[in-house]
């Protein structure tokens, strides 16, 4: 284009040619898929976390004047540290990652003290952000979680001791002991353990109350030993949840009356649930299942091993666990027929000796097409959407660590109405294949576990954690879910837990069934909640698949009863139930600060224990530590096609050529 003459001078012609050549070359350069690499450096200032124990004990047993002065001094300390180039973060027991803007504005309402959780919160949030130190402001009273003196943290800890270590003149109701499960018509004890300081020889009244009325009273002379026990014998005639309150009447001169009262929440039932565990042959699973079920006092477990034993059938069974029955050798077939004719809910455990053709005819919720002699080694994976019973928050992590077990290879078809409790994970691949499932749509509820190696899960959990709690609760909940069958109710409303703490939200779930016991959705459910004092509140929620049910939020302590109603297929149905919200009052039990625990934490961190009057010394020690700013380099690689500046460069070259040509003439 530019090699011949034109209206431009020679120099301008070469410039125009160069601009066009450079534009074409850069466009062709993109065919090579080039990328740019940039190294970016970032300064990370040292961080100091002010971890405030905002539990009730600090607010109750530290003088308000001293507490306010100390917190204001710490806020001022934070400002001075910030001026020295140290980033200061304020944290407390509050939920989430939101930090406090001011320690002096904190409210001391946390119902428990978990010092390890508070320290770990800062570690987890700032471990990789140049965490230099943690200042722990606490009275040392610790009543939940691991003891912090035996834990390792990412940064040194500088404790500040609040509270008072001088014992107060006080009477404390330390503990109330009782059986949580009792039976109608029997007498059961409620024992109160009382401790005192400075009231030797004084008589005190200990009351047992129900619904605000005193049902029993004991008058005891306080001994010199400092503690005594008062036992009440209680007889409950009717089944249901009971709420008793044990109260020590306050004495003149007591430091506080907050620790004179404790609650007892128990359940009175008609009798135990009869559970049969039947196996075609001896197997390690039977020992594991029996041990798990016996952890629940509500279950009466009978174990039989064919062909050596047979079920008694003396009383009707509430649920049965069949291990590898139906069996390829026919063991237990007559038991199975008898149990199915009685509509006994059944938990099937499958294995190498299972007759899958016979099992497929049972319509238990899952079928295996074309059984194979081959096996998959699978690990359990908890289904978080299963809501018929709740699991501990640690269950997800623990269950994932259970060892793989053998599951017969084949095409597993899950029938409608079945709910998966555990999925299969093959290696690192998460699948939607069931490992444990529950079916509630038939007249006889059933559950199926596709492996006979669950005994390994219990052994592994006990070896790794010292307890098999998660395995035991999982198996017990499945059996209880079967045993507490719905009697073909069309509407079933139930709490996600039988007992809630005052610090956690209460939630209700619902199941709605059609005439053939298939679950249906879309109904509006009305709930009338009766509080322990007789007050009633009304709520409504919509029953949706995968919905969260009815969230009632935090409720005061007590026994609550509810009545639910819904219109299903042009008919009205009702259901009722009850649950307990309990209050432990852990924070008011100890009015004496534990500065020894704070001293041990300081020794482990090679620091020292500080008192509110030594904030200036704390500031000096933090500054003397000379925390360093960390310089971090980040290497960034980015495709040139994704960078706008390159396209502006191409546009600039094209526009420059066009402008010069227009100004000096045209071709």
Q: Are 286 and 378 in the same domain?
A: yes
Q: Encoding tokens for residue 522?
A: 């879309």
Same domain, yes or no, for 312 and 384? yes
Residue 98 predicted with pLDDT over 60: no
Residue 531 lies in a domain: yes
* Band of residue 5 on the pLDDT scale cut at 50, 70, 90: low
Residues in contact with 77: Cβ distance below 8 Å, sequence separation at least 6, in sequence order: 615, 618, 619
664 near 7, Cβ under 8 Å? yes
**Assigned domain for 5 exists:** no
Please indicate, yes or no, whether residues 239 and 292 belong to a single structural domain of this protein: no
Q: What is the pLDDT of residues 137-174, one digit of tens each?
A: 999 888 888 888 888 898 999 999 998 888 888 888 88
Helix (H, G, I), strand (E, B) or coil at 469: helix
Q: Which of 219, 235, 270 is the last residue of a domain?
A: 270
Residue 529 has pLDDT above 90, yes or no: yes
**470 and 498 belong to one structural domain:** no
Looking at the domain assignment, is residue 614 inside a domain?
A: yes
Tens-place pLDDT, residues 199-220: 888 899 999 998 788 999 999 8
Domain shared by 153 and 230, yes or no: no
- Domain at 509, CATH number: 2.60.40.1930
417 with 511: CB under 8 angstroms? no
pLDDT grade, residue 121 (50/70/90)? confident
Statement to judge: residues 351 and 471 lie in one domain: yes
Whether 88 shows a pLDDT value over 50: the answer reads yes
Residue 616 located in a structural domain: yes
Q: Which CATH number does the domain housing residue 234 bear?
A: 2.60.40.10
Tokens of 546: 């995968």
Whole-angstrom Cα distance, residue 377 to residue 379?
7
Sort 198 into a burial class: Cβ within 10 Å, 0-12 / 13-18 / 19+.
middle
In CATH, what number is assigned to the domain containing residue 440? 3.40.50
Question: 544 with 606, same domain?
Answer: no
Residue 4 placed within a domain: no
The count of residues in the chain is: 667
384's tokens: 């978080």
Q: Per residue in 174-195, pLDDT tens?
A: 888 888 777 777 788 999 999 8
Start-to-end Cα distance in the chain: 9
Domain that includes residue 470, residue range = 273-483
- The string of pLDDT tens digits covering residues 645-657 is 888 999 999 999 8
- Residue 188 and residue 237 in one domain: yes
Q: How far is 510 from 495, CA to CA, in rounded Å?
A: 9
Domain assignment present for residue 587? The answer is no
**pLDDT for 667:** 46
Element holding 648 (H helix, E strand): helix 644-664
Which residue do the tokens 């009792």 mark? 182
Q: Per-residue pLDDT averaged across 218-237, rounded?
A: 86
Q: How far is CA 55 from CA 258, 267, 276, in A?
A: 15, 30, 47
Higher pLDDT, 100 or 11: 11
| CA atoms of 316 and 306, how far apart (whole Å) | 20
Q: How many domains does the chain have?
A: 5
Tell me the CATH number at 161: 3.40.50.410
461 lies in some domain: yes
Tell me, yes or no, whether 104 and 209 share the same domain: no
* Domain presence at residue 458: yes
Q: Are residues 302 and 415 in the same domain?
A: yes
Which one of 270, 287, 304 terminates a domain?
Answer: 270
Token pair listed for 335: 């038991």
Residue with structure tokens 């706008």?
Answer: 644
Q: CB neighbours of 328 closer than 8 A, spacing ≥ 6? A: 353, 354, 355
Sign of the C-alpha dihedral computed for residues 656, 657, 659 and 664 taken in this order: positive
On whether both 448 and 540 belong to a single domain, the answer is no
> 303 falls in which pLDDT band (50, 70, 90)?
very high
| 3-state SS, residue 471 | helix
424 and 555 share a domain? no
Q: What whole-number distance in Å separates Cα of residue 477 and Cα of residue 480?
A: 5
Strand order in the sheet with 213-221: 181-183, 261-269, 240-248, 203-210, 213-221
């Amino acid at each position: 284009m530019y090699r011949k003459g034109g209206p431009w001078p020679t120099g301008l012609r070469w410039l125009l040619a160069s601009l066009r050549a450079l534009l074409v070359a850069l466009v062709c350069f993109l065919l090579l898929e080039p990328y740019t690499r940039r190294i970016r450096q970032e300064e990370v200032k040292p961080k100091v976390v002010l971890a405030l124990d905002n539990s009730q004990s600090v607010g109750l047993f530290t003088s308000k004047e001293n507490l306010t002065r100390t917190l204001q001094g710490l806020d001022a300390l934070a400002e001075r540290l910030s001026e020295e180039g140290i980033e200061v973060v304020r944290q407390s027991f509050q939920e989430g990652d939101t930090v406090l803007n001011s320690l002096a504005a904190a409210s001391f309402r946390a119902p428990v003290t978990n010092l390890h959780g508070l320290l770990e919160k800062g570690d987890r949030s700032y471990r990789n952000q140049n965490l230099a130190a943690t200042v722990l402001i606490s009275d040392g009273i610790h009543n939940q979680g691991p003891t912090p003196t035996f834990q390792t943290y990412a940064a040194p800890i500088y404790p500040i001791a609040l509270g008072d270590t001088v014992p107060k003149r006080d009477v404390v109701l330390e503990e109330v002991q009782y059986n949580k499960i009792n039976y109608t018509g029997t007498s059961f004890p409620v024992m109160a353990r009382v401790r005192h300081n400075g009231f030797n020889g004084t008589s005190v009244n200990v009351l047992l109350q129900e619904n605000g009325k005193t049902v029993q009273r004991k008058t005891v002379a306080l001994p010199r030993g400092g503690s005594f026990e008062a036992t009440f014998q209680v007889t409950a005639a009717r089944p249901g949840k009971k709420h008793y309150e044990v109260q020590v009447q306050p004495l003149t001169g007591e430091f506080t009356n907050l620790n004179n009262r404790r609650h007892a929440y128990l359940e009175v039932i008609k009798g135990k649930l009869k559970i049969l565990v039947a196996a075609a042959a001896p197997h390690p699973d039977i020992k594991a299942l029996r041990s798990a079920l016996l952890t629940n006092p509500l279950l009466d477990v009978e174990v039989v091993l064919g062909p050596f034993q047979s079920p008694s059938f003396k009383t009707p069974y509430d649920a049965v666990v069949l291990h590898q029955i139906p069996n390829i050798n026919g063991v237990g077939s007559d038991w199975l027929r008898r149990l199915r004719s009685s509509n006994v809910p059944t938990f099937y455990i499958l294995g190498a000796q299972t007759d899958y053709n016979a099992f497929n005819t049972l319509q238990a919720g899952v079928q295996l097409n074309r059984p194979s002699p081959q096996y998959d080694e699978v690990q359990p994976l908890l289904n978080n959407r299963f809501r018929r019973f709740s699991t501990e928050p640690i269950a997800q992590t623990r269950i994932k660590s259970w060892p793989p077990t053998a599951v017969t290879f084949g095409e597993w078809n899950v029938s409608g109405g079945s709910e998966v409790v555990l999925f299969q994970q093959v290696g690192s691949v998460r699948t939607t294949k069931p490992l444990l499932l529950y079916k509630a749509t038939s007249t006889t509820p059933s559950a199926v576990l596709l492996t006979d190696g669950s005994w390994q899960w219990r052994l592994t959990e006990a070896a790794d954690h010292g307890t098999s709690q998660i395995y035991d609760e999982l198996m017990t909940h499945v059996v209880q879910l079967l045993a507490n069958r719905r009697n073909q109710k069309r509407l079933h409303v139930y709490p996600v837990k039988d007992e809630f703490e005052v610090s956690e939200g209460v939630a209700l779930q619902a199941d709605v069934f059609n005439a053939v016991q298939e679950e249906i959705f879309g109904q509006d459910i009305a709930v009338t909640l009766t509080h322990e004092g007789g007050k009633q509140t009304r709520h409504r929620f919509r029953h949706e698949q995968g919905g969260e049910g009815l969230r009632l939020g935090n409720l005061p302590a007590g026994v609550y009863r509810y009545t639910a109603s819904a219109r299903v297929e042009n008919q009205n149905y009702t259901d009722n139930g009850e649950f307990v919200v309990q209050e432990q009052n852990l924070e008011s039990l100890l009015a004496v600060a534990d500065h020894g625990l704070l001293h041990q934490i300081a020794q482990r961190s090679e620091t020292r224990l500080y008192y509110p009057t030594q904030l200036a010394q704390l500031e000096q020690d933090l500054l003397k530590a000379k925390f360093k700013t960390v310089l971090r380099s980040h290497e960034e690689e980015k495709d040139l096609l994704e960078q706008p500046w390159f396209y502006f460069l191409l546009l600039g070259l094209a526009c420059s050529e066009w402008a010069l040509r227009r100004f000096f003439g045209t071709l």
